[in-house]
Amino acid sequence: MTQTRAEVPLTITGGRKRSVAGLTMNGLLVRLALYLFLSFVCLILLFPNIWMISTSLKDSPQIFAYPPELIPAPFLWSNYLVAIQKFPFFLYLRNTLIVTGLATFGTVLSASLVAFGFARRRFPEREVLFGVLLSTMMLPSIVTLIPTFVLFTRLGWVNTFLPLTVPAFFGGGAFYIFLLRQFYLTLPYDYDEAAYIDGASSLRVWWEIILPFSKAPLAVITVFTVLSNWNDFMGPLIYMNKPHMRTLALGLQFFRDQRYTQWNYLMAASTLTLIPVLILFFAAQRYFMEGILLTGLSGR
């Protein structure tokens, strides 16, 4: 009887060990397959950028060679110097930084203020007004293109930075307001009530209490706004008619000749245009990922 009792646990324990080992091996294989698949998808998504950088380091015969070659031989780093000389990169960069900086600041400031009003303040017909605000998201931007152009022309704002920057200070966009409002609703009202008891105004509550908690969603809005304005082509095309007022996105279009395009120089200028955006993304990556989780953009 003693031997029988001793053998049973050993058999069960060994089976459990084999089962756990099998599950662990299956989990590793599934994870390895998942990582390989995701790496393949990332490679597909990054391939256009890799090809752009490769083209920027080639000469014309290598660009049109068949079969195409991914690795240049030799690496022509001088293409970047020629691109900067042929393409007024620093002038267009200055214009782009002015437009993007002012528009981003105005969007973040106004969107956070409006969202604070809808989320933390009580006033008549608040929900109705918020519904009207959300309904503007269904209005195509092309519908308001001609009226806004006529308005800015009569104001004398054409060939200035005002049409691309001033509207950002009036709301910042319904989507960003909705995003911040939903986040502000999750914050406890106890902080507001304690501040109001101490004699704080609504503006002070927004500045000293709400904003410090909003770093993550504000980082998301900042990145999205920078990308939108940095890559904006239609706005500068309509309002920036003078060559010295062009932004990088618009300047790249005029970098092409009507009959011939020097693709290596164009790709070099495009690579230089991409670098500041990459620096911004990696600098704000931690806040960006936190903002995605907090604001629900990940689809959860």
pLDDT tens, residue by residue, 159-172: 999 999 999 998 77
- In Å, the largest CA–CA distance within the chain is 103
Q: Dihedral sign, CA of 213, 176, 168, 95?
A: positive
Query: At residue 296, does pLDDT exceed 80?
Result: no
Query: For 145, what's the count of Cα atoms within 13 Å in the CB-facing half-sphere?
Result: 10
Q: How wide is the angle at C-alpha 164 spanned by C-alphas 225 and 118, nearest 5°?
A: 55
pLDDT one-digit tens code per residue, 90-114? 899 999 999 999 999 999 999 999 9
pLDDT one-digit tens code per residue, 111-152? 999 999 999 888 888 889 999 988 888 888 888 889 999 999
Query: At residue 220, does pLDDT exceed 60?
Result: yes
User: pLDDT-based confidence at 8, cuts 50/70/90?
Assistant: very low
SS (H, E, C) 4-73: HHHHHHHHHHHHHHHHHHHHHHHHHHHHHHHHHHHHHHHHHHHHHHHHHHHHHCCCHHHHCCCCCCCCCC
Contact residues for 248 (Cβ-Cβ < 8 A; gap 6+): 89, 92, 93, 95, 96, 230, 273
pLDDT at 254: 73
Query: At residue 244, does pLDDT exceed 60?
Result: yes
**Which range, of 57-61, 165-169, 281-285, averages the lowest pLDDT?**
281-285
Q: Tell me, rounded to whole angstroms, the distance of Cα 57 from its chain centroid.
A: 28
pLDDT at 18: 54
Task: Calculate mean pLDDT across residues 182-194.
Answer: 89
Contact predicate 133/201, CB 8 Å: no
User: pLDDT-based confidence at 289, cuts 50/70/90?
Assistant: confident
pLDDT at 168: 92
Query: At residue 285, does pLDDT exceed 80?
Result: no
Whole-model pTM over 0.75: yes
Task: Calculate mean pLDDT across residues 13-30.
Answer: 64
Dist CA 245 CA 233 (whole Å): 13
